Chains A and B, each alone.
Chain A
Amino acid sequence: MEREVIFSVCPDNEFFGREREMEYISGRIRNSFKPSFGMYLLGRRWIGKTEVLRRIYHRLFWESSEPVPVYYRFRDYYGTEGFAEDYIKEVVKQYIAFTRRDPYIARDDISLDKLERLVVKCGLNRIGGLIERHREIKKSGDTITAIKNAVSVPRILTQGGPPVLLILDDFDLTERIALYRGGPSIARELMEGLSGKGMLFLAGSTRRTILEDVAFCFPMEVMELKGLDEDTSISMMVEMCREYEVDFDTEIHRFASKKLSGNPMYIKNIVWASRRTGRNLLTLKDFVDLYVAELIEGNIGYLFRSTFAFRGMLEPMVLNTCMDLPGGVSVDELVERLPCGQEELKEVLAGLADSGLVEDDCGIIRWTGDEVQKDFVSYIHETGVNGKTPEEATTFIVCRNLKDGFNFQGIRIHGKVREEVSELIKGFNGQGVFKILFNNGEFSRRYRDGRFLAGEDEEKITLPQIAGYFNTSRLEIGENGPPIIIAHGFQNDRYDAGNEVIWIVGIKETLSKVHVGDVENFIRRSHILRQNFRPLRTVKWIIGREGFTQEALERMELEGIYSSDATQLDIIKGILRDGREETLFVPVKEFEVVLPSSRKAELVAVRAVEEIGEEMGFDEDSVDQIKTAVVEACINAFEHSRIKSGKVRVRFVDGRDRLVIYIQNSGVDFRPSFVLNSSGRMNGKVLHKRGWGIELMKNLMDEVRFEELKGGTRIVMVKYLKKG
């Protein structure tokens, strides 16, 4: 029989990263040797609990002979009687559907009369009596008895047949269904009904407090469903972007994964919005613009508005206060800070706790929402309480997220470069340095095989004597873009006003080349910054870790801006350290092996690097990491060699504090293998079957970069010796 979907779930190719949890739950259900089983699936709203519960249901429905799965989703708009009848109908019809393996019955919106006929037809006489009883109780209006009767149905079914597993979704909504007008909720009655021998249930909820209310009835296991981890979130975004033909950069996905807390609903909506608006996810700005639009006027915003349904401005004021105080705030303090009375506040807090935005921990109110909800609340607060226009509030949220994104990229990827540059500038003390080291276009043309051959009359510039340096965050509040360092000093060994100079240094630390947009941003910012300083002479310098686009270089040349990449920076560093230019161009020790195109040839390079690495003082783990990275680089170089019998040259440079490895083939760019290879799937979770080589190299080495050469490609990998 074809496996029909009974309760709607998302397409398999959009379901990610819950296999482990599903396997665990299925295993616990399968292997439960205790007479009873109870599990509580706890997680934030929209984190994927319903999806997991429904998939467990389908798995049991189609793959098991027992227990009998019954999925029930609580709704707060039923009254007590309405719930009792709905519960009886769902439990009984799904029981029958399972025993007959007829999904149509489970989906059918059945009347009580029809259900009674079905029960008789199936010989479930013990249930017929309960339905009849329900009719009588309904007439009398005795809601307590109606609930007790309804919750006894699964137990009665279990006593006379295979066990029933109740899959209870949105369990915390039971708190909103009162046992009788003004009375307690039905939660306790429900749990008592579930606590009998042989009873099995799996309940999903957003709130932990409900556990405390019902735990006395029944010992149960709690599983917390968190956001998807970073790798899974990125895989999900990559797969969805491919599916919807959205161009993307995985570094942006990495930030998105953090920002969206790995929440599958947010991730899907961002990719869908990207598809809908025709915008790609290639830059931080792409993502932030899409995200903020989605948050304010897109699906996410719509969902938040309808779910949180703030009745006035007190809710955002309370939330904003809680967001500002991560340690929590007492109810009394809130009353002091906000224009409200204790009773009004309590009512608001109860609603916010229901929404999962705050928790009340013994009178201390804490923010429990996620980052996206925080932005949404900020927007409402800025417009509703602080009186900003929607445009102003949007700009505020956009700026905040861009800033977070730049910080994240800087910290996550290569915060080290900024520190290196600061150290380097500190060492400027009137040294003469080849001018070509500040001209990336010219340098790229003349730098070959780790050497730059200086001519006799090679032009030099004299570095200033630096008096002090600082970053510009204080001067550029609210400004976005790569970090800028200002160095203040003197030239020509003269400490007078006429020789004062400032160097304005922009640093692009991310894994992409400096493009013309970065240059324009730098020019604009440096023009503003320049006004803070007296010296007439200004030198502008952009350092791009991964180099520059041709367009950027042309623009910089027009403006007279210096340009250096990571290699040039290393050479300048060497000059300042050793004081002798030639030592920089002739490495201390250098080894080279040429590998023929034959099986396991890469092991020759591995043995060489093992010796070199140990000799340099790398520990065993680091040597192992370098060996694995070398293997990957070599097999990539062979695989992409244009000539079948092409050789691969591997050069090891012992740079005292680092080992630099150059692997060069005579072929095409190595990189496409990472992006374009096909992927495999394991239980719905995507694992790339191929194309891990570059990812491995990047993880195992401190630096990996690719250089396009005439007639080939070169990978440069660096591993630093750890001091101490």
Chain B
Amino acid sequence: METPNISTAWPLRDKTAFAGIGTSAFGSFPESDSYGLGCAALNAALDDAGLKPSDIDGLIVNRIPSYERFSEMMGINPQYCLLTEAPGRFSGVSLSLAMQAVATGAAKTVALVYGNNGRSVRMKYGGGDSQWSPWGMTSPGAIHAMMWRRHMHEYGTTHADLGWVAEAFRHHACLNPDAVMHGKPITREDHATARPICEPLALLDYCLINDGAVAWIITSAERAADLRRPPVLISGYARQDNFTYGSAPPTDFWQSNLGAVRDQIYTRAGIGRDELQGLGIYDNFTPTVLFSLEGLGFCKPGEGGDFVRDGTLRLGTGRWPTNTSGGHLSNSYMQGWEIIAECVRQLRGDGGARQIPDCHAMQYICATNIAQSVILRRG
């Protein structure tokens, strides 16, 4: 990968900001759906920002079936509107589209709304017709299980290493009254003895499936400064795709494209790794957290297990408090949207019992074939 040119500042650095965030409750809500949950989240975000639906001139919806119907419901007639793809990597992609829309003047104030009623509709993340389904190979969990066994073989990591990730995020969920797994602590022993789902991964390596919604309101840094809450600036965003894996699990744990993100993100943000107080990592499965840490250079390839041992990711004990609301594993499976919202809460000092002390900058990482990272800072 090319060395970034540090003499030219990234043009979007600190130009856009989070002006509002909001969520629905998380859990099982068969009496609602992704529209109802999305409306609740957007209303919470509008109240947070001190805005009305008529102030919104850009709209991005995700996992809400129709942007037309959602706009009609909320009485929004934007000048910029789209629906993004369902996979969780599109939380970060959607954020980048909103940033671009604001920066180019396509819209002034963009609402992004994610709604998911996967629990109520008994959504299965597996099955269906795909390249390998005739052999029973299906589900994102199985792809991660395949990679994780290889990682253990190549580097000597163990399933017990993942227990540190699961235990830390559950601890955070127990500090978060809104988390689905609030009040249900687990131990690393529980992680080790959980029933297998797709070996080598077991139940507590898997994210939750629950209903809920998250909304963000993105606007320019200048406009955000005049709104109700302290703005959280989007300092940097970097992305590198890698679709060359031949439909099979990637044999490099996404290190190639994560490495390209690592080479851009800190330079773009103008914020170094040592200046960060905490992380948000897309944790669909526990191994992804280690792949993310290795790929972004928090440790060397293969050393993710050593890195998380002894509670490095755990609030209060570790240098790198990660997914302080509990993440996908223990708070809410909102496909990156809630993890990014939690970074915003931390930077505003809204973390309550789970607040990271003196929090100025946070980094989000998503390890997938669209590898991405975002650095946010207090405005």
**A and B are interacting partners:** no
Interface residues of A (CB under 8 A from B): none
